[in-house]
Amino acid sequence: MRDPEELSSNLTSLETPHHHQSKETIVPVIAIIGAGPGLGAAVARRFGREGFSIALISRNQSKLDSMAAELTAAGFTVSGYAADVRVPAALEDALARAAAELGPISTLQYSPLPSRDYLKPVLEMTPELALEALQFSALGLIHAVRTVLPAMRQAGSGSIILINGGTSVKARADFAGTSVAFPAESAYGEMLHDALEGEGVRVSQLVIPGGIPQLQLVNGIDGVADRIWDLHAVAGPFRTMLIPLEDGRE
């Protein structure tokens, strides 16, 4: 008859204050890939206010350092990790270093700003340019997801958020590179959304059909960051349009 008692004492030992404390000290971490002074900084502030530590990832370390310094001065826990999304080893290394220093990444925002080269007319599209656009958008996302997803699945929670322009929904002959690459990124994201739905890991996409300053949104960039927070916090459909596609000025 000692088994129930042993079970009871084991359960009691699991419920000591020490164990509760260790659970509470796990700080969520957002990694923002393509972090810049506009949307990236706004999202960092929004998630930072919710208690997240922030990993900023983009190509230029000195820009990351100045962004991190501003956000740290505002009271947030932030580090910058330079990586080019077209270089898988660099991107994976940046995410691994962020997880080692800040903790497991619980939210991934994939929002690198495409090169102007990807916004050329379709008749100027070369295979090389198409491949680079795909590396930048779709393949970069796949490498990033495969780096952070195991920890999310193990935790049974997390979110992956894609930020794309209107060409992810409707091709435009004058924006040939993103019109090829964004739909590939979207397709991967949507499949992930469906595959992970039962595991507590949310995958979503916010489509912003145009440059944020030109869209003249009521709450500006902070309003967009609020929408991104909502995508993280509440399970929903894969795709959300920030505004109707036809209202965009992309």
AA identity, residue 61? Q
pLDDT value of residue 135: 97
Q: What secondary structure, in 3-state letters, does 196-207 show?
A: HHHHCEEEEEEE
pTM for this predicted structure: 0.88
Question: What is the predicted pLDDT for the residue at 24?
Answer: 52
Q: What pLDDT is attached to residue 53? A: 98
How high is the pLDDT of residue 15?
A: 39
State the Cα–Cα distance between residues 155 and 164, nearest whole angstrom.
Answer: 27
In one-letter notation, the amino acid at residue 64 is: L
**Tokens at 27, concatenated:** 């700080």
Burial of 239 (0-12, 13-18, 19+ CB in 10 A): middle
Looking at the chain, list the stretches that DSSP marks H as alpha helix, in order from N- to C-terminal side: 2-14, 17-24, 39-49, 61-73, 88-102, 127-134, 140-155, 176-196, 212-215, 220-233
Mapped to the 3 state alphabet, what secondary structure does 100-157 carry?
A: HHHCCCCEEEECCCCCHHHHCCHHHCCHHHHHHHHHHHHHHHHHHHHHHHHHHHHHCC
pLDDT in tens, the chain (250 residues): 444 444 343 433 333 333 333 445 689 999 999 999 999 999 999 999 999 999 999 999 999 999 999 999 999 999 999 999 999 999 999 999 999 999 999 999 999 999 888 989 999 999 999 999 999 999 999 999 999 999 999 999 999 999 999 999 999 999 999 999 999 999 999 999 999 999 999 999 999 998 877 777 878 899 999 999 999 999 999 999 998 888 775 4
pLDDT score, position 58:
97
pLDDT at residue 250 in the model:
47
**Residue of 88, 109, 138 whose CA lies nearest to 202:** 109
pLDDT at 212: 78
